[in-house]
Amino acid sequence: MGDEELTAEFGVVAEWTADVVDELGPEYAIVAGCRGSGDPALLDWLAQACGVGPETALVDVGAGVGGAAAWVAETYGARAALVEPMEAACRAARRMFGWDAVRARGQALPFGDGQFDVAWCVGVLCTVHEKRALLHEIARVLRPGGSLGMTVLVADPALHSAVPMGNEFPGADEVRDLIAGAGLTLRESTEAPNGTTPTEWVLKADQVDEMLRKQHRKDQAWRDSEEQGRKLSHLLSTRQVTTRLLHATKSVGAPG
Ligand SMILES: C[S@@+](CC[C@H](N)C(=O)[O-])C[C@H]1O[C@@H](n2cnc3c(N)ncnc32)[C@H](O)[C@@H]1O
């Protein structure tokens, strides 16, 4: 995505999300922060596949406002480093969770080689044009034997409906090639579970959405974001796009 599209999609709404959490209370922060792409079943799959625990050196690339990282800290005791290119989302992470995110793109991570046991990249690949560079860079900062956990919106070859602005959904073969091309070995790949989100989580997410809609329905950025959401829902419900969970590892003999 270009900077303007990124700002509209992930910056403005991030700031509004932090405002809504200020009003509703801190118990809404994780649910509000995960509205981008996570829920407990999906994040739990990633944490288990990657063997996340309290001592894990974890980096969340494209962390948004930090919802997934806050969930994994609360559930598995792991304190992730957050990387996020949008300044407004970094500010929102600080307001919502008290965490400083590193402002950077995943294609140029400001970390040394082999620094992390685990990298997460949740719902990010389809928003990035330079996918190969992103995966190479993530592989570089992983230690040999380290794990990458990703959720990826994967396009069916028969994709024909309108795609939300700024998204470039990779096909399944492309994702496999990208992973192998970065020197990673795909270990597991499965479709994200459906209908397993706890009721309490859904109710909180609905309240957050309702308040955002009430406060911003006249704002162009909110209308654009709703339109993006509608297009994506259509693609998912018609299975032109599916959400896949992936676990890959960096080979022990690899540099870094
Ligand atoms: C769909 S959101 C997902 C956010 C978060 N991972 C989550 O699960 O809630 C995609 C995120 O990727 C970020 N992003 C876009 N381009 C990126 C890039 N080149 N490198 C890293 N992150 C990027 C966006 O700013 C946005 O926060």
Please write the tens of the pLDDT for every residue from 180-234. Answer: 999 999 999 999 988 789 999 999 999 999 999 999 999 998 898 889 889 999 9
The answer to the question of residue 201 being in a domain is yes
194: left (phi over 0), alpha (psi -120 to 50) or beta: beta
Give a yes or no: residue 111 inside a domain: yes
pLDDT for the residue 166 = 83
Q: How far apart are the first and last CA of the chain?
A: 29
> Which residues are within 8 A (CB) of 91 and not within 5 positions of it... i.e. 6 or more apart?
14, 15, 18
Helices 220-237 and 13-24 pack at an angle, to 10 degrees, of: 90
26 assigned to some structural domain: yes
Residue type for 156, please? D
Residue 166 lies inside a defined structural domain of this protein: yes
CATH code: domain of residue 139: 3.40.50.150
Domain residues for 241?
3-249
Q: Could you tell me the maximum CA-CA distance found in the chain, to the nearest angstrom?
A: 55
Q: Going by CA atoms, what residue is nearest to atom 18 of ligand 1?
A: 105
CA of 62 to the centre of ligand 1 (A): 4
Is residue 256 one of the residues assigned to a domain? no
Q: Which of 82, 127, 150, 167 to mutate to test the pocket of ligand 1 (most atoms within 8 A of CB)?
A: 127
Do residues 99 and 29 lie in contact, with contact meaning Cβ atoms separated by under 8 Å? no
Residue 254 counted as domain residue: no
Beta-carbon neighbour count of residue 12 at 10 Å? 20
Residues with CB under 6 A from ligand 1: 1, 6, 10, 34, 36-38, 61-64, 67-68, 84-86, 89, 105-107, 122-124, 127-128
Q: Which atom of ligand 1 is nearest to the CA of 86?
A: 25
Does residue 255 form part of some domain? no
Q: What is the pLDDT of residue 33?
A: 96
What local confidence, expressed as pLDDT, does residue 87 receive? 94
How close is the Cα of 253 to the center of ligand 1, in Å?
A: 30
> pLDDT for 196-211, tens place per residue?
899 999 999 999 999 9
The total of structural domains in the chain comes to 1
